[in-house]
Amino acid sequence: MADNLRRLTPTDVPRLRQFWSDHWGGEFIVSRGNIHHPEQMEGFVVEDQDAWAGLITYRIANNECEVISLDGLRDGQGIGTMLLRKVIEEARATKCQRIFLITTNDNLYALGFYQRRDFEIAAVHRGAVNESRKIKPSIPLIGMNGSPLRDEIELELEL
């Protein structure tokens, strides 16, 4: 799979838009009250023939790297780890001081996944998803594990 990892290019934008619609409930992603659009993203994709088997998107600004989305579509084959590692390398190479991301209170698997990879909880933004929902009404009220979807949890790795 590592051979099939490549950087996103501008020609991927329509496909990225569709991917986010399919996996994240809309053509844009909201975190910390900011709207992220596909055309603003840097990222890497893992391809399995024509299909996208994994995707990570991120933005670098002010010496910080924010992971905007991470999806592994072949559970437990190492794709999510490989993509995250790639962005950590990128962030280090661009002299970022930290890499951070937002996940939500219901996503217990992601909370474990990142913490097993040395990320630490940097902040809990109580009720932030309720605010994001005002911008993106497609965010469901009930998330994973049948939990109310309401808080943003910020995880970071200092570089």
Ligand X SMILES: CC(C)(COP(=O)(O)OP(=O)(O)OC[C@H]1O[C@@H](n2cnc3c(N)ncnc32)[C@H](O)[C@@H]1OP(=O)(O)O)[C@@H](O)C(=O)NCCC(=O)NCCS
Nearest approach, Cβ of 119 to ligand X (angstroms)?
A: 11
Q: How far is the CB of 123 from ligand X (least distance, A)?
A: 16
Q: Quick check: 43 binds ligand X (CB under 6 A)? A: no
Contacts of 123 (CB under 8 A, 6+ apart): 153, 154
CB-facing half-sphere around the CA of 58: CA atoms within 13 A: 28
Choice from 4, 77, 130, 147 touching ligand X (CB under 6 A): 77
Q: By CB neighbour count within 10 A (0-12 exposed, 13-18 middle, 19+ buried), where does 11 fall? A: exposed
H-helix segments, the chain: 13-24, 79-93, 108-115, 128-135
For ligand X, the closer CB: 95 or 150: 150
12-20, 30-38, 79-87, 126-134 -> range binding ligand X (CB under 6 A)? 79-87
| Residue with Cβ nearer ligand X (12 or 80) | 80
Q: Which of 16, 29, 30, 70 binds ligand X (CB under 6 A)?
A: 70
- Identify whether the C-beta of residue 59 lies closer than 8 Å to the C-beta of residue 34: no
Cα angle: 26, vertex 49, 76; to 5 degrees: 70
Residue type, 107: N
Is position 80 an interface residue for ligand X (rule: CB under 6 A)?
yes
Residue in 159, 43, 8 with CA at minimum distance from that of residue 91? 159
Q: Is 22 in the site for ligand X (CB under 6 A)?
A: no
Among residues 21, 81, 130, 147, the one that binds ligand X under rule CB under 6 A:
81
- Contacting ligand X within 99-158 (CB under 6 A): 101, 103, 107, 109-110, 113, 116
Residues that bind ligand X (CB under 6 A): 54, 69-72, 75-81, 101, 103, 107, 109-110, 113, 116
